Structure 1
């Protein structure tokens, strides 16, 4: 372990299970340690650095903005914030944007918005949320309360009341959960921390239909799936429907803290002065970078490439699945958000890839997640698959 890692053990809170690696530099799809070791990054900071590390255009924008303005507070307008809000609205279903710093904050804003909208239009009785089992929406109290994995609740209960749980893709359970007291349903179109589980078209259509029937809001958490990750700018585009509210974060400023909640005008306008706020939300540095990120990832040619790369990776892993059915159980995902479910515990696979200097993540004990920067090239895809196959060969019974 390096000296810096040792210091981290002493001075940092023990709430993360860190690898004994200290990264000091990033370039494209590569990360470099304080010992000069090079790693191929198939995590992108957990679907954050969609444009890779130290992207030259983003670095230039950040430098230019850093010499102009860092912070004024949201008592005033700033050019980067207004420009980014305009771009998000033009590229999405929404009309107005609220900025914060993290995904959990965007979810908190969406939950508060839903409660306030329902209160103003229908009164106090309409306050319940429907959330999906196996979901993940963040670790603040509101976001945690609609996160459908009990392992995250331990030691923090009681949580915020008024949440009804439904199994993903359970149409009957979904219908039974709705009534006049429901103000909103929140869902990830692809459950990220749940193991890369896709919601079906039928389930999402039914949720939209029931929201309209019971005057409830459809909230999409696109914190992990948004901004080009699935081969579309937003994952909701795959389904041919529009949510009422959408949460974005992670890749919005490619690693700078920035999140957004986007909604229709008639909904978001209930957030009158004093009803909600964020001191650092939408700061000029992050928003300037966010504008350039959106410009790059919204390009149709760029998105077509992401879609193609995702299909190629999935085809190659499905070939491994066919070759090693006793090791690989299933492959799923969209674009460059891919989950490989193993028959065995995934930890030995993860550890061996780490030894081979390939970074991956394990959202579930038997699931390996690949979420590389969207700018990776085809040689890097081939290299990763080769290393994965060699790893599987070594693990064969």
Structure 2
């Protein structure tokens, strides 16, 4: 039965470490020792080209000879990495007598220390001891480091080590797998998450229990948190010393009022970072097999907010100009006003038989689609019972079956 090892972090900065041997194993160990600032002495008649370059630049001290008793004098740590078991045993014996911890590369159980599989993320060092199985240790190490990088493993620093502020995160169209790596990292650092119903809800289940979640949802013709209130919450929580994540669906700058929140924070002296997201205007059609552009079919696509109907006093959309386009029109927040929008596009010149599709909850379990010519799509949506959130695509791309063969 192998010994139970006590894990410990050694500060070897400026301290003498002796590596006996000059092959590939020694080269790997030297690289790690130099990374932590050790004063490395290599004892070996011959060394690899990489080690020779380090010796030539005085990054290591090379004793060009075989091991001799006394080489571990004043050492804090040593590595026996020759191709001779006899030499490695002699090094380990001297280390034992000198009370210097020793790694034996050829026989881990005969040394007094082992080298863990080491990985680093930011200022976190991960060291894994695999019970004598280096591949297992490396696999676990890689998994932990990747989880830290992706944000799936929380890396929540002490409050005093973090700068309070707001991070505006685009969560993508709803599938939790489509948030960016940086977005996940921001969530892993959050004290407070201000979210809404269009953000990927499954990500909230991954948050530590002490993270405060504030619901800022807006329901069509129903309950909602006003934008002014949302802005005030972001500012107040950040000024209270918290790291705040504003988690939004899609991309925060595509009809997401993201810049309004930045303005409010800036006015209050609160720092803001922005993590862009995958916009539903492109990703939701892609889930349904609809490219918003295609060679030889369309040379433009336009993303339009349909939350106000044509003719509304506050509408900024030139619907007649959109009706004259021949490319792709992507409508967001348009289900309720689609009858008026379709009429305006046709009046502006768009063929009423233009292919069109409405996609509900694209990429999620509730995804549903309705296809119909532009003029008939509003009634088809009603007949099918489609509801918001839905994305509408109008143009030849809405019917890929009619594309010419490549």
TM-score w.r.t. structure 1 length?
A: 0.28
More helix by share: 1
Relative contact order, higher structure (CA 8 A, sep 6+): 1
Larger radius of gyration: 2
